[in-house]
Structure 1
């Protein structure tokens, strides 16, 4: 493989220039890069897998993901100084050409699929709130904006959007938890009837799948590390982020399941009672038979999340083999 120049950015592995993001900015970028729509399905996953299995699954998944991300950083540090490598190159060193093609294909599918999923989520939400435009119209309006924003080559430049997205995440989750706690303690729910483990083995893989989905963002690891002004602090910042996220995920899923039990729906916001907070976080469709999740706060966070999905694709380039 021939390099295109030492000054060029390495796709997905980050750039060689010194980053400008502070530890606080990187912490915010990590949170937005990981938190996605999966968190809304945690209470239902706890219902299917059981509260004990769900708790253990989320903790194990969080620890495993954090460990793998740290290992990835260590692998990059062991590369020969000045030698640029892509994920495909690393796959080639491990498994030859099949490893290269498989690695690049999986990364491409993962991030393209993620971009489509988030655009669809945002488009459906906007279409349900603003009935004057169709879902397709919103998608056509969003794509040019996303393309222009994808030209931003550094995560530190997105820090203001990150802070706003984190505030939206915290506000939306807090509103859902507030309603869950009120139901849990106000209605006299029998916590003893909640299952600790799934009665069937099929519930465990489902819970594990949702837990893994909640900790997405692995492909952003080195871009996040490379954006830092002090890269040696990345390990500490990453561990702090995962400790906080894992705790929030466990509490969110556990409280949601304990509050509603077998009545827990697949999307957490669908369990919200009618009130001021539920109107902020969710808006049911007029057709109850086609009721969908529609979040006013979460949509803002997920638009920012979509940028994090697009960035690795925007940094890719054609390689001569």
Structure 2
């Protein structure tokens, strides 16, 4: 549920780009209103107890994630600058806590692991070697590494916290 707090700002950015309300705070829609608009839908999804009813929503979400991933990679691979003068690989250890918290946030999903394992025909296949969970997490880590590596190669130190914020707004 907490992850859905990040959706209203994204919705706000898209809506504000296409339909600018104004330049002063009185003329713009408050972000709390965007949060309020999403609450009924998120609440309804949260009321679904059986995982088999969530399959269509999960499949649709996976399709949108794949589309976003492909669009992000497209922009990362177009006009890649020369990296010889941009890439600096000296670590800043003061940002290590932010790195670990971001990794933990990206890998969280533990609330779904136990119900999913309990609903499998062969629960032993979930955690075994290689196991469904291990294969899925390996794919997720690989995709995050690809986005992180090529996002840094494309944008260097000027990359935003979310690489999608670096994508051009003109093509939206």
- Matched residue, 1:213: 105
CA contact under 8 A between 1:154 and 1:227: conserved in structure 2?
Answer: no
How many residues align? The count is 158
| Distance (Å, rounded) in 2 between the aligned partners of 1:135 and 1:182 | 33
1:136 Cα deviation after fit: 3.3
Say which SS state the counterpart of residue 121 (structure 2) adopts.
coil
Unaligned runs of 5+ in 1: 1-110, 280-321
- Matched residue, 2:46: 150
Higher relative contact order (CA 8 A, sep 6+): 1
| Distance (Å, rounded) in 2 between the aligned partners of 1:137 and 1:209 | 28
**Closer, same or farther in 2 for the Cα pair 1:231/1:257, shift >3 Å?**
same
- Matched residue, 2:158: 263
CA contact under 8 A between 1:126 and 1:138: conserved in structure 2?
Answer: yes
| Distance (Å, rounded) in 2 between the aligned partners of 1:205 and 1:126 | 28
1:232 Cα deviation after fit: 2.4
1:168 aligns with 2:46: no
Say which SS state the counterpart of residue 202 (structure 1) adopts.
helix
1:244 aligns with 2:139: yes
**Closer, same or farther in 2 for the Cα pair 1:147/1:190, shift >3 Å?**
closer
**Closer, same or farther in 2 for the Cα pair 1:206/1:147, shift >3 Å?**
closer
1:27-106 residue pairs with structure 2 within 5 A? none
1:172-191 residue pairs with structure 2 within 5 A? 172-184=68-80, 187=81, 189-191=82-84
1:139 Cα deviation after fit: 3.0
| Distance (Å, rounded) in 2 between the aligned partners of 1:156 and 1:197 | 47
Say which SS state the counterpart of residue 93 (structure 2) adopts.
coil
CA contact under 8 A between 1:180 and 1:256: conserved in structure 2?
Answer: yes
Unaligned runs of 5+ in 2: 22-28
**Closer, same or farther in 2 for the Cα pair 1:136/1:204, shift >3 Å?**
closer
CA contact under 8 A between 1:123 and 1:135: conserved in structure 2?
Answer: yes
1:192 Cα deviation after fit: 6.0
| Distance (Å, rounded) in 1 between the aligned partners of 2:51 and 2:150 | 34
| Distance (Å, rounded) in 2 between the aligned partners of 1:157 and 1:251 | 32
**Closer, same or farther in 2 for the Cα pair 1:218/1:252, shift >3 Å?**
same
**Closer, same or farther in 2 for the Cα pair 1:168/1:155, shift >3 Å?**
same
CA contact under 8 A between 1:124 and 1:135: conserved in structure 2?
Answer: yes
Aligned CA-pair RMSD: 2.4
Q: TM-score if structure 1 supplies the norm length?
A: 0.44
